[in-house]
Chains A and B, each alone.
Chain A
Amino acid sequence: MKNLFTLIGFICISSLSIAQSAKFNDAMTKTLAELDTCKTGDQFMSLSNKFERIALAEKNQWLPFYYASLSRVTAIFIYNDPSKNDVILDVAEKHALTADSLQPNNSEIYVLRSMIIGGKIMVDPMSRGQQMGMQSMMLMSKAMSIEPNNPRAYYMMGRSLFYTPPQFGGGADKGCEMFNTSKAKFALFVPASPLHPNWGEDQLDEVMKQCSTTKPTGEGGN
């Protein structure tokens, strides 16, 4: 009798804890799928809130904080209204730093932090460009040095170079060279879990279309 109750109790408790991590995986998997289907800035902001709810409930998981932040960064690029960036990115930065405190020396988080600074520069490029540009660059370099095989670091660095005029050390050639490196790394990249960051290849392919017209020079006669 007692054994039966204990057995049922045990089943209930263990099914509860299986349910909990399954619950986390389940919720994260479903919400991550929405990263691909969301279209508008408002949708990405709602998605950010969704990740934030998971993050606040779990407290010790860096991934929901990371994605809550990433969703906000995506939102500002869709809104394309730099005057809103500071308000949205201040929260994104808070989440990124929380993720950093839970998982220090994580290459993906450094890429994210670099992107956030990039978004802040857009608010006032004339005043913020020189100083913050350097900060963004240094964060991205750190991302690369922690994980030399992180394709996203090379993709974002490539973007930055591609859209920076040659006079400031950038240019299409440098950007495309970085994109090629990133593409090769995407081919070899295996995320640590289905929940770990694995985004960017589609966007890379899209921007690389502009590279086919700018072949690096020095190849000799065609």
Chain B
Amino acid sequence: MYKIFTLSIILVVVQFLNAQTTISGTIVDNKNNTLPGANVLIQDTYDGTTSDIDGKYTFTTTESGKQILVVSFVGYGNYADTIDLAGGSMTIDIELKELFNELNAVVITAGAFEASDEKKNTILKPLDIVTTAGAEGDIYGALETLPGASKVGNDDGLYVRGGSDYETKTIIDGMIVNNPFYSTIPDVPSRGRFQPFLFKGTIFSTGGYSAEYGQALSSAVILNTEDMPDFSASGISLAPIFIGAFHTQKFKNEKTALGGGINYTNLALFDNVYQPSTFDWIKSVEAGDANLFFRQKTSKTGIIKVYAQKETSNFKLRTPDIDSVPLTDDIELGNNYNYVNASYRELLKPKWGMQFGVSYSSNADEILADGFNISRGDQAAQAKVAFNNELTPKIKLRYGTEYQNQHYEQQFADLLFEVTENFTAGFVESDIFITNDLAGRIGVRAEHSSILNEVNLAPRVSLAYKTGKNSQVSFAYGDFYQTPQPNFLYTTTTFPLTYEKATHYIGNYQYITNDRTFRIEGYYKVYDNLITQTAIVDNPFVFDYQNEGFGYARGIDLFFRDRKTIKYADYWISYSFLDTKRKFIDYPESTTPTFAAQHILSLVYKHYFPTINTQISGTYRYISGWPYYNPNNPQFLGDVSPELHNLAISVSYLTSLWGNFTVVFLSWDNAPGFDQIYGYEYSADGLTQFENKAPIKSTIFFGLFVSILHGNDRRVNDLDIDKSAE
């Protein structure tokens, strides 16, 4: 009895006299980098420690026997292993494997700039686009400050890497947009129709874009509209030439949002102050538009989005007739534009998503030139469905098909030209993450045009390799086809045509941290089957069209952005070098086209002054000049316009009106008043030279924007503070 009692006492005592084990070691990743701050612990106990700055850890535990040692560190897979604790010391060195995390993985970037809030590696945020001086809230004005892109003279449209404006397409929610720019006539500048605030993200592809898109030889501006707004909101914009208002209501069920806006523009006041030098207004631009916005969440993962916009505008002006100097031409333009875009997105199964969309647009221009009636218009309808599958976390598949019906018409007095196109296309593309550092994309696109009655097959391949924690290289190769422009299609039954083609080879290196971005990209485009036209004697309206044009474009684009060095300052520098020649339309030989400048430099600087809640930004732009046609020069397009400089300054002052967030802005384009000559035009006899330049040298534009968020039933000012405690 005494022995048993002693034994049990000993047992109890032994129970409380646990042996201590000391565990130490070093924690590294699969590249042998040490990991500080990792949590090392014995599972189901409190025992453990944090690895120090050298990745070393040491701790003592009173646990014994078989235990599980766990190490966790954000971004890496957990380590867990069974160990036997028997007192004394143990050394356990641990290697953690980096988790495949899409946010940190290599991103295929060749030929693309992404602006969105979602991805971490974006180069421009949507707000960057709106606050860039000189852009005046126009998406394309802001895209101009990125390398490879340029507006040319007074022309609407974006010219990318030696490509003409028709080679760039705008895509909203996956569907092509006809007429993304306001209607205008040559020499009268224009801007994009869609407000930047509509979009949550922009991908500006300067080449090598996804097989999901086509019909753009050079580039795609891919815009994605906002999904469900977080709050109901209203906004009012006011400027001497513009008044607009919108309201978006998010319903209490948190699943429906409905809104709309109206805008009215009248440039009369502006034209009184700024008289254009190259023409006279008879009636200033007057425009009105209304838009509708609808969102419905159909499930946790599904959403229906509808956007509709209706616009009308008109103006009348008087331009000098360059062929008979004292004479003038009166030109009047009236435009009606309708656009509807509806899409439905849903997750059919956990890793299988579907996007379905339809869009319709109609554009009609009525032009009266000296009493002579010209009208042109187009209607386009598109339906598209695309699926995306995550076959494994490292292999993704995207595929889909689309159908477009387009009708174009042009009427000169009694002469009507029209053409209808039934277009179908399909694509398949796969993103493969071979490792966390190496990713590839391979795809193919097939298109059929009813007018051309031909199928094209376009392969697209990209590769990206992460060379360091913040750096990567990326390559892209692809074929891009485009149906010739409508002007050439009206008579194509007589002259069978084929797709214009461009083959892209692109390579880039980029270094991106949270605050600094550096990117250098080289490209080589080979053009083939470009439309050539030769006049047929005695018939001014009919030409002989063939696909006998060809050309190349090659160059280097540089981009550097810094948000760290200067506090509250954000600046970026873009530089493009372009060498391009082509023979197309009526060019007698292959030469540098009229829209290609050899050097373009943009410098954007934004500085926020917190004490006065003001942001001041400036954009400097240098363009080395564009070739222009001089009938007196035997060398075709042998003359280049003078160097062009521009400095735009804008000031945004953030304040509040009745507790609502308000921005007062002022922008001054061409502040120094540089002479900006885009080129020259000559009278028919070649003797008189006219400057082709901006109608107004330097302009100031100001206005205010009020944003009213309806987030709560009660705003901060009205919070029910328990006053009894005071």
Contacts and interface: CB of A to CB of B under 8 A. Distances in A.
B721 A168 contact: no
Interface stretch (A106-114, A127-135, A201-209): A127-135
Contact of B48 (A11, A53, A130): A53
Given A53-B47, A91-B74, A168-B656, A1 B4 contact: yes
A83 B514 contact: yes
A83 B716 contact: no
Contacts, number: 109
Contacts of B716: 137, 161, 169-170
A138 B4 contact: no
A165 B609 CA distance: 13
Contacts of B715: 169
B47 A180 contact: no
A100 interface: no
Interface in A141-190: 141, 144, 148-149, 154, 157, 161, 165-170, 177-178, 180-181, 184-185, 188
B81 interface: no
Interface in B634-663: 654-656, 659, 661-662
Given A8-B8, A27-B46, A87-B74, A181 B230 contact: no
A211 B385 CA distance: 60
Contacts of B43: 56-57
B318 interface: no
A198 interface: no
A8 to B, nearest CB: 5
B656 A181 contact: no
Instruction: Find the residue from A87, A157, A169 having the highest chain B CB count within 10 A.
Output: A169
A4 B12 CA distance: 13
A12 interface: yes
Contacts of B48: 49-50, 53
A178 B5 contact: no
Tell me the interface secondary structure of chain A in the complex: helix
A184 B654 contact: no
Given A127-B125, A169-B715, A180-B726, A54 B46 contact: yes
Contacts of A184: 725-726
B630 interface: no
A42 B661 CA distance: 38
A177 B726 CA distance: 9
A19 to B, nearest CB: 9
B719 A141 contact: yes
Contact of B39 (A11, A53, A135, A141): A53
A122 B76 CA distance: 25
B39 A126 contact: no
A90 B104 CA distance: 14
B226 to A, nearest CB: 11
Contacts of A5: 8
Nearest to A134: B711
A181 B721 contact: yes
A167 B127 contact: no
Contact of A57 (B12, B44, B50): B44
A154 B719 CA distance: 11
Contacts of B127: 126-127
Interface residues of A, number: 53
Contacts of B514: 83, 123
A146 to B, nearest CB: 13
A87 B712 contact: no
A148 B724 CA distance: 11
B608 interface: yes
A123 B515 CA distance: 10
B722 interface: yes
Contacts of A52: 39
Contacts of B613: 165, 167
A188 B722 CA distance: 13
A49 B53 CA distance: 15
Nearest to A170: B716
A57 B8 contact: no
Contacts of B662: 167
A73 interface: no
A44 to B, nearest CB: 11
A45 B709 contact: no
A139 to B, nearest CB: 11
Contacts of A124: 125
B502 to A, nearest CB: 35
A12 B12 contact: yes
B44 to A, nearest CB: 5
B513 to A, nearest CB: 8
B1 A1 contact: yes
A155 to B, nearest CB: 13
Contacts of A167: 613, 654-656, 662
A148 B721 CA distance: 9
B45 A49 contact: no
Contacts of A126: 127, 608
A83 B515 contact: yes
Interface string A59-95: 0000000000000000000000001000100110000
Instruction: Find the residue from B53, B707, B719, B723 having the highest chain A CB count within 10 A.
Output: B719
Contacts of A56: 41, 43-44
B231 interface: yes
A181 to B, nearest CB: 6
B37 interface: yes
Contact of B725 (A137, A138, A157, A181): A181
Interface of B: 1, 4-5, 8, 12, 15, 37, 39, 41, 43-50, 53, 74-75, 117, 125, 127, 230-231, 513-515, 608, 613, 654-656, 659, 661-662, 707, 709, 711-712, 714-717, 719, 721-723, 725-726
In the complex, the 10 A-B pairs of residues with the closest C-beta atoms, listed nearest first = A46-B50, A184-B725, A49-B39, A83-B514, A167-B656, A167-B655, A49-B50, A134-B711, A53-B41, A53-B48
26 contacts: A4-B5, A12-B12, A42-B37, A45-B50, A46-B50, A50-B50, A53-B46, A56-B43, A57-B45, A57-B46, A123-B514, A126-B608, A127-B125, A130-B661, A130-B709, A131-B230, A134-B231, A138-B712, A149-B722, A157-B719, A165-B613, A168-B656, A177-B721, A180-B726, A181-B722, A181-B725
Given A42-B53, A169-B717, 19 more contacts: A1-B1, A45-B50, A49-B49, A49-B50, A52-B39, A56-B41, A57-B43, A57-B45, A83-B513, A87-B74, A90-B74, A91-B74, A123-B514, A130-B661, A134-B711, A137-B712, A165-B613, A166-B656, A181-B726
